[in-house]
Amino acid sequence: MNEYTPLIRFSLDLTEKFAEIPRREIYAELRERWMKQTGNTSVALSRLLEISAQSCSTFASGTNNRLPSWYLISRLCDMLGYVMIVKNDCVEIATKNNEVCV
């Protein structure tokens, strides 16, 4: 039995040289879900993430090719009750079904 329920799947091949996990897309999806679930704005999220409101929007849009840090993605996952599972062929964002950490 899985210890998580996948919600979002980003397909990729991490076995290829120079493959990168799509941080911008993951952050943008998590940001959007947080705003929908809480009814709050990007400004409110930026305060919780301790970044500027401009950075909060820029990371989601990709302006200036800036990428969100893993800290921001991890914190958003935690705030939403999600986990990120990295596999060779995909990255999944899932809900926590229990608190078991391996």
**Mean pLDDT, the chain cut into blocks of 10 residues (102 residues total):** 79 91 96 96 96 95 92 96 92 74 38
pLDDT at 100: 40
Cβ partners under 8 Å of residue 8, min gap 6 = 26, 29, 92, 93
pLDDT at 78: 94
In the chain, what are the domain boundaries? 4-96
Report the phi/psi class of residue 34: left, alpha or beta, with left for phi > 0 and alpha for psi in -120 to 50.
Answer: alpha
What CATH number does the domain located at 4-96 have? Answer: 1.10.260
Asked if 86 contacts 9 with a C-beta cutoff of 8 angstroms, the reply is no
- Read off the DSSP letter of residue 50: T
Reported pTM = 0.87
Residue 6 belongs to what H/E stretch?
Answer: strand 4-11
